[in-house]
Amino acid sequence: MSHAQLDTSGLWVNVDSILITSTRITNNWTETTQSLSDKDLTDKKEFLHQYSLEESLNHIPGVFSLNNTNAAQDLRVSIRGFGSRSNFGVRGIKFIIDGIPESTPDGQTQLDAVPLGLLRNVEVIKGPSSVLYGNASGGVISLNTLSEYNHNLLKGPLLETRISYGSYNTSQLQLTYGHKQGKTSYVFHANQLASDGYRGHSAFVNRNLKIRTDHTFSKFSKINLMVDFLSSPKAEDPGALTLEEVDVARSAARTRNVEFQTGESINNLKTSVNYELKAAPNRTLNLYGFYVSRKFDGKLPFQTGGIVDLNRNYFGQGATYTINTYKQNYNATFTYGYDLANQLDNRIRYSNLNGEKGAVDVMQAESFKSAGLYILSRFDLGQLKLNGGLRYDYNDIGLRDDLFFGQDDSGTKTFAKFSHSLGVSYSIDASTGLYLNYATGFETPSLVELLNNPASINGFNETLEPQQSKNIELGVKFELSEKINAQVALFKVNTDGELIPFQLDTFPDRTFFRNAGTTVRTGLELEGTYQLTPELSGALSLTFASYKFDEFSIAGNDLSGNVLPGLPASQASFSVQYKSPFGLNVRTENSYIGKLYLQNENASTVDSYFLSNLYLNYSYLWKNVDVRPFLGLKNIFNTSYFDNIRINASNSRYYEPAPGFNVFGGIKIRV
């Protein structure tokens, strides 16, 4: 028997500089003109529970997540406050996985299909980025999974299994196989995660399957094919509590949610293709296409329209054509591109009679078609780099009311917008870059938000309009040898027509939306990593921000100057990792979350809190098999805090309590 460390000999890593691809023009990290974080997850994920994407995002400044444990509502993620309004899933942030959009055309993202065990790195663009990805790009999160491009599959087949068990009867089983034969590589990954949940009525089962094939035709062209499948037959929703109910029993479900049997079941199939052709030494064509079919059945804690039967199909296609020009005094890159997408939802809503289907209340077909055309440019003038972009997006939204009685609530809406950006970076030396960037963004209401109409259960909320943002940021980036990476950014974002959620006591548990005048976001973000020795490394991130209504009033009540609810003004995190020569590896992650407000009126707050997690694994070789037992201790100080806050909730039901001290452990075996 011998000790083993993480095998990095098969990783293809550029040690001279971090290359960024989510900007659609590849740049060195220090030369990008945006606040952008790039995290290598290959080593970190070995320690994690792989329970939620939050584990991979929780130490990036400007990024805040909630709802880590309610599988029925899915993870909520915000970047500089964009996305915070969501009552379930993600809004306002564009998610890209392996170069393919995961977000729907109308700006919604569910993260239940992300193969957490396959993640290799994450790139996060902070601030409005509509010039890159169009509607609902208040930030961009690009995830990349295992492939021949980040793991050397030529060394031989990769066969890996991972088994874990933890608190609340949480179990997970993963199987991964990868191999390359000739010009073709294959990756197969299957995962099942199941749990009874910390709270009552919060059990879930989630099964994922991903198949990826990469084929190189020649040194000039290659293709990538992927199939992703999700089956989640059960995800119960325990609901939100009042503070008085929390004091009585933190882990209890809301009685009404149990009575109405709230929760969801999902089947999701995604197929996609990427093709790259080097048409000439300085010209590259990229094509992509995808198709997604999603079947959703959900039960909500109210009667009228409380059972949802949704069949969603959305598909898209896009292309980029990049031209590189090399002159004596400068180099220039131009990327021309387009994105097309079409979302078709067939929605039926029934009365929820204590979990049983009643009469049909809503029957309608919804569509959201989007088309974007853009040009991006980059000029390299030695130490000075200029980036610019212009994009036009057209969004066509339709509703066909198929209910055979009552008023016909069919309708259409169109939203069109130009977006632009201009940035400059200056390389002080090979390791340090200054940048200044200006960019605009826009976000249309999603179909769900448009259809949650306080005036009627059917039809569009005709009062909703897109929100529009202007972002300016100044920053400095350091890439000092292989030991230190650091970034400091100052930003200011002004938004007109901020989309804000609210609830009415007369319609409990239904969330509606309104445009809230103007808001202003300002802040300072700092992050850094340090490799003290080959065995000892650390990371630090800090966020100090102000998210406020600039002009906003409701029914004569002036809320200008109030803080946007659901967002902490300050966040801090630090991690330390030690990899001993004897095979024992230790990682500690610590986070501070500042207080946040619960409603627009700022009448009440959630106190700040501190969380600390400890992870251990041990590596050894047994007959050329890498055996790696692991153990995780989460919330080791048993802090009482809230996993989710439902902002502006009716009847003071804001709180979804988080678990206290909990553990998981297991073993990973790699052949």
Would you place residue 481 in the very low, low, confident or very high pLDDT band (cuts 50, 70, 90)? confident
pLDDT of 5 strictly over 70:
no
Going by C-alpha positions, the residue among 424, 368, 417 that lies closest to residue 390 is 417
Q: What is the pLDDT at residue 88?
A: 77
Would you place residue 406 in the very low, low, confident or very high pLDDT band (cuts 50, 70, 90)? low
CB 317 within 8 A of CB 342: no
**Rounded-to-integer distance, Cα 548 and Cα 155, Å:** 54
Burial 374-408 (b: 16+ CB within 10 A, else e): bebbbbbeeeebbbbbebbbebebbbebebeeeee
Range of the domain at 544: 2-670
Q: What is the pLDDT at residue 518?
A: 93
Would you place residue 288 in the very low, low, confident or very high pLDDT band (cuts 50, 70, 90)? very high
Computed over every residue of the chain, the mean pLDDT equals: 90
Domain count of the chain? 1
CATH assignment of the domain containing 230? 2.40.170.20
Residue in this structure with the two tokens 């974007």, named with its chain if needed: 372
For residues 174-185, average pLDDT: 92
For residues 398-420, average pLDDT: 84
Distances (CA, A) of 244 to 247, 293, 652: 5, 42, 10
Per cent of the chain over pLDDT 70 is 96
pLDDT of 397 strictly over 90:
yes
6 vs 291, more confident: 291
Tell me the three-class secondary structure of 518-540, residue by residue. Answer: EEEEEEEEEEEEEECCCCEEEEE
Q: What is the pLDDT at residue 27?
A: 78
Would you place residue 457 in the very low, low, confident or very high pLDDT band (cuts 50, 70, 90)? low
Q: What is the pLDDT at residue 13?
A: 33
DSSP H or E run through 563: none
Within 8 A by CB and 6+ apart from 590, the residues are: 573, 574, 575, 610, 611, 612, 613
Which amino acid, one-letter code, is at 32?
T
Q: What digits encode the pLDDT tens for the residues 504-531?
A: 777 777 788 888 889 999 999 999 999 8
pLDDT of 9 strictly over 60:
no
pLDDT of 16 strictly over 60:
no
pLDDT of 502 strictly over 90:
no
pLDDT of 364 strictly over 70:
yes
**Rounded-to-integer distance, Cα 661 and Cα 666, Å:** 18
Residue in this structure with the two tokens 């309004």, named with its chain if needed: 85
Q: What digits encode the pLDDT tens for the residues 60-78?
A: 999 999 999 999 988 999 9
pLDDT of 470 strictly over 90:
yes
Q: What is the pLDDT at residue 3?
A: 44
Burial 50-78 (b: 16+ CB within 10 A, else e): bbbbbbbbbbbbbbbbbbbbbbbbbbbbb
Q: DSSP string of 434-458?
A: EEEEEEEEEEPPPHHHHH-BTTBSS
Within 8 A by CB and 6+ apart from 498, the residues are: 467, 515, 516, 517, 518, 519, 549, 552, 564
For residues 281-288, average pLDDT: 93
Which phi and psi (to 5°) does residue 155 adopt? Answer: -65, -25
Tell me the three-class secondary structure of 171-185, residue by residue. Answer: EEEEEEEEEEECCEE
Q: What is the pLDDT at residue 408?
A: 74
Q: DSSP string of 238-287?
A: ---B-HHHHHH-TTPPPHHHHHTT-EEEEEEEEEEEEEEEEEETTEEEEE
Query: Tokens for 2?
Result: 């011998």
Which amino acid, one-letter code, is at 577?
Q
CB 48 within 8 A of CB 193: no
Q: DSSP string of 114-157?
A: --GGGEEEEEEEES--HHHH-TT-SEEEEEEE--TTTS-GGGS-
Model pTM score: 0.93
CB 393 within 8 A of CB 440: no
Helices and strands in the chain: count of H runs, count of E runs: 5, 43
pLDDT of 476 strictly over 60:
yes
Q: What digits encode the pLDDT tens for the residues 104-124?
A: 999 899 899 999 999 999 999
DSSP H or E run through 365: strand 356-381
Query: Tokens for 445?
Result: 């209401």
**Rounded-to-integer distance, Cα 352 and Cα 204, Å:** 21
Strands 139-145 and 94-97, by their bridges, are: parallel
For residues 15-25, average pLDDT: 67
Would you place residue 291 in the very low, low, confident or very high pLDDT band (cuts 50, 70, 90)? very high
581: left (phi over 0), alpha (psi -120 to 50) or beta: alpha
**Rounded-to-integer distance, Cα 316 and Cα 68, Å:** 29
Instruction: Report helix, strand or coil for 45.
Output: helix
pLDDT of 10 strictly over 80:
no
Q: What is the pLDDT at residue 510?
A: 78
CB 125 within 8 A of CB 34: yes
Q: What is the pLDDT at residue 156?
A: 73
Would you place residue 154 in the very low, low, confident or very high pLDDT band (cuts 50, 70, 90)? low
Per cent of the chain over pLDDT 90 is 68
Q: What is the pLDDT at residue 368?
A: 94
Would you place residue 8 in the very low, low, confident or very high pLDDT band (cuts 50, 70, 90)? very low
**Rounded-to-integer distance, Cα 177 and Cα 187, Å:** 6
pLDDT of 33 strictly over 90:
no
